[in-house]
Structure 1
Amino acid sequence: MLDFSLVSAVVIDFSKMTKWIPTFIDGTIVTIVLSLLTVVIGCVLGLIATLMKRSNSKILNFVAAAYTQVIRGTPILLQLYIWLYGFTLIGIAIPAMPFLGPTYGSRVFLTAVVALGINSGAYICELLRGGLDSVDKGQMEAGRSLGLTSTQTMRYIIIPQAVKVVLPGLCNEFIMMIKESSIVSVVGVFDVMYTSNIVKASTYSVFEPLIIIAVIYFVLTSVLTAAIGVIERKMNTDA
């Protein structure tokens, strides 16, 4: 049962948050960079997995199917833990790159990028597969009749058409990754979610930094959603 006496005793004071605005901004930038890198890696891996699924090789088909099934069937936090702590036991570790700076060059950040990128690739694979399937199969025959190889036809004719179809889905994946990337805060990556720990430890305020972070996520996703709407209307107009 809700204790209203405790609720009335809560004092919200955002004045203490003013000097922490640069910290929130830095964390937001890290979140955006992390999400963008993740989606870029995911697009590359997703495209490779999609082409493997469409190849005539049963081995490639199996590898691609196993990749998507395993990644989509296990929690992203578990995958992050495996990359950070499990693989290191067998000598597999993403090295730190100090020249990128203490945040972006840290082993934890780079490992998070790889883990989330691999996770994103499995979902983008399904997006791309649906986009390629939406392209008329006669396009391949048309390309071959013009003297193009299968690879050239895929690269210059089919993939550009498929990308146009899946672009809104890719933008939505970016929005989802903006939110899902908050999970890296549990392993010490300095993203916008992790800033709540810093601010809380310094000000003993719990509710205020969480509200600010919620607003930041809401603004980011709202702006990206609006941008997707503009892109979709533009694509429909061009069509």
Structure 2
Amino acid sequence: MNLNFSDNLVPYIPFILQGLWVTLGVVIVSALIGFILAIILALFKISRVKALQWFADAYTSVFRGTPLILQLMIIYFGLPQLLGGVDIPPYVAAVSAFALNSGAYMSEVIRAGIQAVDKGQREAAMALGVPYKKMMWDIVMPQAFKNILPALMNEFITLTKESALVSVIGTMDLMRRAQIIGGKTYGFFEPLLFVGLVYYLLIIILTFVGKMIERRLKQSD
């Protein structure tokens, strides 16, 4: 096999690892924004206001029904055309696309978690005169999050892997740096294999953290 890790990979490991912080930045910021958006959409979906339900369902349908890479390219390449040539930085485009997409998926998970909470608890809270907002945040949401934590962690893991797509718009993440090294050394296998290992280790860590949080939540019941 024509592999040369000493020349095609080892000298460039520090350069590739610098992309780890870009990858983590995109994932963490996108997940936080997407999570907030998902809560809002989930509350819209269970609202009695038909317009809010329609908006949330339409939003989810669009972002779940189209490829993520298409959404990313529309934001990065398409929006500047509508905005009169205003450039959108790759990082901003990446975070926007992933947050909007992740929010659509997580909203369904959160909605299901809220509706899985026993209706009797909500009825009892309303009978005691507990305001709707306080009931949702202090009674319903904590129980819902315990039930949906595995699904939320799975979405976070998926988001971490899909973040590699940002390389197509020039974001200097792990994948993009591996491609640059491959073009420089004409050896793509070695840097891509290394990046695959980094992603794999990230997923293992996230899986471990998710299970640890689940155990603590169960112990607190």
Q: TM-score, normalised by structure 2?
A: 0.93
Greater Cα offset, 148-157 or 63-72: 148-157
Match status 1:50 vs 2:32? no
Alpha-carbon displacement from aligned partner over 1:29-88 (angstroms, at most 9, x marks no partner): 211111111111111111110111111111111000000011000000111111112222
2:77 is aligned to: 85
- Rounded to whole Å, the distance in 1 between the matches of 2:133 and 2:216 is 29
Structure 1 gap ranges (5+):
1-9, 97-106
Q: How far off is 1:89 after superposition?
A: 2.0
Q: 1:158, 1:94 → 2: CA distance?
A: 43
Shift of 1:27: 0.9
**1:92-103 correspondence runs (5 A):** none
Q: 1:145 aligns with which of 113, 127, 131?
A: 127
Q: Tell me the CA shift for residue 93 of structure 1.
A: 8.4
Give the Å deviation of 1:135: 0.8
2:142 equivalent among 136, 139, 160? 160
Residues 135-156 of structure 1, C-alpha deviations (whole Å, 9 max, x = no match) = 1112222222333211221122
Q: Does residue 166 of structure 2 align to residue 184 of structure 1?
A: yes
Q: 1:238 Cα shift?
A: 2.8
The alignment-based identity, stated in percent, is 39
Corresponding residue of 2:214:
232
Partner Cα distance (2:22, 2:77) in 1: 22
Alpha-carbon distance, 1:95 to partner: 6.7
Aligned partners of 2:85 and 2:133: how far apart in 1? 34
Amino acid at match of 1:221: I
Q: Which residue of 2 aligns with 1:18?
A: 10
Cα 1:236–1:65 change in 2 (3 A) is same
| Aligned partner letter, 2:113 | G
Q: Deviations over 1:82-135 (max 9, x none)?
A: 111222222188876xxxxxxxxxx11111101110000000001101110111
2:78 counterpart letter in structure 1: G
Instruction: Classify the secondary structure of the residue corresponding to 1:156.
Output: helix
Aligned-residue offset at 1:236: 2.6
What CA distance in whole angstroms lies between the structure 1 residues aligned with 2:86 and 2:118?
Answer: 41
Matched, 1:216 2:198: yes
SS of the aligned residue for 2:2 comes to coil
Distance 1:205 1:213, change over 3 A: same
What is the TM-score of this pair, normalised by structure 1? 0.87
Shift of 1:160: 1.6
- AA of the residue aligned to 2:102: S
Say if 1:149 and 1:183 are closer, same or farther in 2 by CA, change over 3 A.
same
Whether 1:33 and 2:25 are equivalent positions in the alignment is: yes
- Distance in 2 between residues matched to 1:88 and 1:13, nearest whole Å: 42
Distance (whole Å) between structure 2 residues aligned to residue 200 and residue 75 of structure 1: 27
SS, match of residue 174 in structure 2: coil
Q: Report the aligned-residue RMSD.
A: 1.7
How many residue pairs are counted as aligned between the two chains? Answer: 220
SS in 2 for 1:193: helix
Among 28, 53, 74, which residue is 2:66 paired with?
74
Rounded to whole Å, the distance in 1 between the matches of 2:96 and 2:79 is 13
